[in-house]
Amino acid sequence: ARFGPSHIRAASRLLRPYNPEADAWPFLAQQVVDVGDVACNPYDIEASLASIEAGVLDCLDIASRILVLGGDHTIALPTLRALHAKHGPISVIHFDAHLDTWDTYFGQPYLHGTPFRRASEEGLLDREGCIHVGIRGGLYGAVDMADDRALGFMTVRTHELHLDGPRSVVERIRSRVADRPVYVSVDIDVLDPAYAPGTGTPESGGLASWQLLLMLRELAGLNLVGGDIVEVSPPYDHAEITGIAAAHIGYELLSAWAPPLDDSALKTR
CA distance 250 to 213: 9
- Quick one: 99 or 222, whose CB is closer to Mn ion? 99
> Shortest approach of Mn ion to residue 126 CB, angstroms?
20
148 binds Mn ion, rule: CB under 5 A: no
Query: Exposed e or buried b for every residue in 181-206, given b needs 16+ CB within 10 A?
Result: bbbbbbbbbbbbbebbbbbebbbeeb
CA distance 134 to 99: 9
> Shortest approach of Mn ion to residue 94 CB, angstroms?
8
98 binds Mn ion, rule: CB under 5 A: yes
- Quick one: 24 or 135, whose CB is closer to Mn ion? 135
Contact assessment for residue 170 and residue 219, using Cβ atoms and an 8 Å cutoff:
yes
CA distances from 69 to 141, 149, 188, 260 (A): 31, 27, 11, 25
Binding segment for Mn ion (CB under 5 A), chosen from 99-107, 127-135, 217-225, 253-261, is: 99-107
252 binds Mn ion, rule: CB under 5 A: no
Residue 36 CB-density burial (10 A; 0-12 exposed, 13-18 middle, 19+ buried) = exposed
Contact track, Mn ion, 169-208, x by CB under 5 A: ------------------x-x-------------------
Task: List binders of Mn ion among 116-145 (CB under 5 A).
Answer: none
Binding segment for Mn ion (CB under 5 A), chosen from 38-46, 97-105, 144-152, 153-161, is: 97-105
Please give the sequence-ordered ranges of beta strands (E in DSSP) within the chain, or none if there are none: 66-69, 91-95, 130-135, 153-157, 182-187, 224-230
Q: Please, what sign has the CA dihedral across residues 234, 43, 115, 32?
A: negative
> Shortest approach of Mn ion to residue 137 CB, angstroms?
9
Contact assessment for residue 217 and residue 178, using Cβ atoms and an 8 Å cutoff:
no
CA distance 156 to 170: 10
The site for Mn ion, by CB under 5 A, has a size of 7
Residues 6+ away with beta carbon under 8 Å from 257: 30, 65, 220, 224
Q: How many residues does the chain have?
A: 269
- Quick one: 92 or 256, whose CB is closer to Mn ion? 92
100 binds Mn ion, rule: CB under 5 A: yes
Contact track, Mn ion, 48-87, x by CB under 5 A: -------------------------x--------------
Binding segment for Mn ion (CB under 5 A), chosen from 16-24, 57-65, 92-100, 241-249, is: 92-100
> Shortest approach of Mn ion to residue 4 CB, angstroms?
12
- Quick one: 24 or 99, whose CB is closer to Mn ion? 99
- Quick one: 86 or 157, whose CB is closer to Mn ion? 157
- The binding site for Mn ion (CB under 5 A) comprises 73, 96-98, 100, 187, 189
